[in-house]
């Protein structure tokens, strides 16, 4: 174990950058994973850290459980760790993990397409739904929140490690998919439950979920086999995109069972 006490230590500066800057992982080719829950989720998927970072308190209480993962284990005073964390209530340990951009799109796989979604919480929640309901490929159209940013990682709760995530895709990548494309609309198209009841919901397929305010782009809407609505008997104007994604992906999962 290597103790660090200085805020100016180069390692601390790098960890702070990874923990607090949305797209730092793309330049550094590493990402920051904070908290024992996320770190355990990564380990369960076969991910191994380059570095383990923990507070002095955490090291005394649980440090032995995290030894042997790497020869780079760092221990920081609790206050120093808190200063680099991007959380309001900082966790007490984290991983630094190697990252490389995924560029290959698998055209025949069940796919979720994120069309310029901005909110990190929505993006992370949809990744969780994709993983839970059997979708293994997620394509993020250019303009979507950075998939490996700290906020999306926290919202994903470990889903990242079971998914093939391709960022900055174009409309051409989506058009090249060999599975039917489905979109959602608040105001037009058949209701999802009717499409499901008629047996017209294709599986496998690619679901496209659009920008929180603007919805799915016209170009992607034009590619869709179905643009479906979700019944809302309570009368709300629209659903949060992550909620709509959960409903749609679950419906597709029932077809695949």
Distance CA 223, CA 220 (A): 5
Quick one: which of 161, 122, 154 has its CA closest to 246? 122
Quick one: which of 70, 184, 173 has its CA closest to 126? 184
Q: Are strands 206-210 and 111-115 parallel, antiparallel or unpaired?
A: parallel
Domain boundaries, the chain: 2-98, 111-256
Token pair 């970072």: residue: 53
Token reading at 97? 């993990």
Q: Which tens digits make up the pLDDT trace of 61-93?
A: 999 999 999 999 999 999 999 999 988 888 999
Q: Which tens digits make up the pLDDT trace of 107-122?
A: 999 999 999 999 999 9
Q: Which tens digits make up the pLDDT trace of 237-246?
A: 778 999 999 9
Helix orientation angle between 120-132 and 241-256, rounded to the nearest 10 degrees? 10
| CA atoms in the 13 A half-sphere facing the CB of 30 | 18
Of the options 1.25.40.10, 3.30.1330.30, 3.30.9.10, 3.20.20.70, the CATH number for the domain spanning 2-98: 3.30.1330.30
Quick one: which of 174, 186, 202 has its CA closest to 113? 174
235 alpha-carbon distance from chain centroid: 30
Q: What count of residues does the chain have?
A: 257
Q: For the whole model, what pTM was predicted?
A: 0.94
Q: What angle do CA 65, 68, 70 make, to 5 degrees?
A: 120
Of the options 3.40.1280.10, 3.40.1390.10, 3.40.50.10680, 3.40.50.2000, the CATH number for the domain spanning 111-256: 3.40.1280.10
Tell me the helix, strand and coil percentages in the chain, rounded to 5: 40, 20, 40
Q: Which tens digits make up the pLDDT trace of 168-210?
A: 999 999 999 999 999 988 777 899 999 999 999 999 999 999 9
pLDDT, position 73: 97
Token pair 């380990």: residue: 43
Band of the pLDDT at 149, cuts 50, 70, 90?
A: very high
């Amino acid at each position: 174990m290597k103790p660090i006490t200085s805020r100016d230590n180069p390692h601390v500066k790098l960890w702070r950058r990874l923990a607090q800057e949305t797209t730092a992982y793309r330049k550094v080719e590493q990402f920051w994973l904070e908290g024992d829950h996320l770190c355990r989720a990564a380990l369960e998927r076969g991910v191994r850290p380059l570095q383990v970072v923990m507070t002095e308190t955490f090291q005394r209480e649980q440090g032995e459980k995290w030894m042997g993962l790497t020869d780079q284990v760092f221990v920081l005073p609790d206050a120093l760790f808190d200063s680099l964390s991007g959380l309001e209530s900082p966790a007490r340990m984290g991983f630094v993990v190697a990252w490389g951009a995924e560029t290959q799109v698998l055209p025949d796989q069940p796919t979720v397409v994120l069309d310029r979604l901005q909110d990190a919480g929505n993006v992370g929640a949809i990744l969780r739904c994709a993983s839970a309901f059997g979708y293994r490929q997620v394509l993020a159209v250019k303009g979507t929140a950075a998939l490996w940013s700290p906020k999306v990682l926290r919202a994903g709760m470990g889903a990242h490690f079971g998914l093939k995530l391709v960022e900055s895709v174009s409309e051409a990548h989506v058009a090249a998919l060999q599975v039917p494309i489905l979109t959602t609309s608040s105001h037009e198209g058949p209701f999802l439950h009717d499409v499901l009841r008629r047996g017209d919901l294709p599986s496998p397929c690619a679901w496209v979920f659009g920008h929180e305010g603007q919805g799915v782009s016209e170009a992607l809407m034009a590619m869709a086999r179905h643009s479906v609505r979700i019944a809302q008997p309570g009368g709300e104007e629209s659903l949060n995109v992550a909620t709509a994604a959960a409903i749609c992906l679950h419906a597709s999962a029932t077809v695949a069972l």
